[in-house]
Structure 1
């Protein structure tokens, strides 16, 4: 038996259940909630790496992430997102973005499982609903961008937040560039699929593109589209990268998250 508690404005929802004891019907309800709310989260979960990976496989094929080291040889799909108190500069992911949009086939979903967190409210993840952003986009802008694609780079503005962790890989990672439609249809709803942290231009180039870029990226992250998720230890969150932007909030201290991305 699971209980679904939507947040305000239907931006995300909490689900109360035990992720190690789910029926097929429970999984269907969880997937339906993810499609509807964009991000869902589960508190107080007792997950080993094996059960974490097993749960993730219900959502698709697990992806490899070249820019962070894997947890172990046994669990390369789990990457370690860590903030150390000695780190300088911004936290990993500290700018609104959608994961790995600079690849030709970006992951549909991302999962984060908290292993070590600062005090509650000190290291939130903020989400922005791109369903709401699309619905509130002026009609003239929708017409201008209907057939336009965005160009994205792994060396975009947000890349500065990966430097500490990329150094741990011990090798230089080449720049990745991709092109994707800016509007995406998920089931019956449209979303703005554009990552401010990776965006470098429009294709084809359009009139007043700098002005339009500034408007679009500012519109996507309006406060009225946002929800701030507070982390506790042993909490799992899943979000749809096609309908949600997210960012880490600035904080000092130690935090360890185990991440899985899913195609």
Structure 2
């Protein structure tokens, strides 16, 4: 069985399929759906780490996360994203962002596989379609940002949410910095590619920078562009970092997610 169920306004979609028994035809459909909806999720997927890696490789070469050590020596590409009930700070990723934009070649896709989750609806991940955000930008703003790049840092505002895990499993790295065009074309669609959680400035000198930054950030995360994904155990989500912002929602309790990023 293979079925696609789009969310409201096409902000992501659920796909019903057994990922343990998937065909090349199914993979082709999933890739097309990912381009269209920006984020997909699959419920009731009891995948081992080996099968998780196998599925991820259909979408490209796997990336190593620069800030945290991998699951183990056998599966270094899997990062454990964990929230503990004893954690005092914000949840890992608790601010709208796009993954690893502070690198020269950020990952195109991110996958999360839930291993331990609190009560459904208590630890959602919120997604924000940057296809829709771009479409609703005023034309003068589209023109203004067309050739402007944003500057990003691994020590940007969101870095405070990784401190608990970096203390436990962090790699000893220097600050990573990059710059990327704010408007991107993906297939036939345009998207805003800007990560509020990592942003440290514009690469070009423009008047009223603070004003435009505030406008852009406020516009990108409007409620009408959002979908809130409730997690269940053994649920997998994949999203395109070029067309979706995401953030963890605040919660108290224990949660374990296995994460893979794809070049």
Which TM-score band applies after superposition, normalised by the shorter structure?
A: over 0.9
The equivalent residue for 2:211 is 211
Instruction: Give TM-score scaled by structure 2 length.
Output: 0.99
Query: Could you tell me how far apart the structure 2 residues matched to 1:121 and 1:226 are?
Result: 15
1:1-263 pair list within 5 angstroms: 1-169=1-169, 172-263=172-263
Whether the 8 Å contact between 2:68 and 2:171 is mirrored in structure 1 is no
Helix, strand or coil at the partner of 1:128: strand
Write the distance in 1 (CA, Å) between the matches of 2:140 and 2:260: 38
Aligned counterparts of 2:188 and 2:181: Cα–Cα separation in 1: 17
Moved beyond 3 Å, runs of 4+ = none
With over 3 angstroms needed to count, the CA separation of the structure-2 counterparts of 1:155 and 1:73, relative to structure 1, is same
| TM-score (ref. length: structure 1) | 0.99
- Secondary structure at the aligned position of 1:113 is classed as strand
CA–CA distance in 1 between the matches of 2:68 and 2:6?
32
> Matches of 1:77 and 1:165 in 2, distance apart?
16
Distance 1:2 1:170, change over 3 A: closer
CA contact (8 A) 2:40 2:239 kept: yes
Q: Distance in 2 between matches of 1:240 and 1:127?
A: 11
Pick closer, same or farther for the CA change 1:225–1:170 going to 2, 3 Å: closer
The separation in 2 between residues aligned to 1:160 and 1:4, in whole angstroms, is: 37
CA distance, structure 2, for counterparts of residue 199 and residue 176 of structure 1: 12
1:170 to partner: Cα distance: 5.5
> Measured at CA, do residues 59 and 211 of structure 1 come closer, stay the same or move farther in structure 2, by a change above 3 Å?
same
Instruction: Summarize deviations over 1:137-174 as a string: whole Å, max 9, x none.
Output: 01111111111100000111000000001111365431
Aligned residues: 263
In structure 1, the residue corresponding to 2:54 is in which secondary structure?
Answer: helix
Task: Tell me how far apart the structure 2 counterparts of residues 203 and 67 of structure 1 sit (CA, whole Å).
Answer: 24
Output the CA distance in 2 between the equivalents of 1:112 and 1:145: 31
- How much does 1:66 deviate? 2.1
Instruction: Please give the alpha-carbon distance, in whole angstroms, between the structure 2 residues aligned to 1:66 and 1:24.
Output: 31
Q: RMSD of the TM alignment (CA)? A: 0.8
SS at match of 1:161: helix
CA offsets, 1:15-38, max 9 Å, x none? 001001111110000111111000
Structure 1 gaps of 5+ residues are none
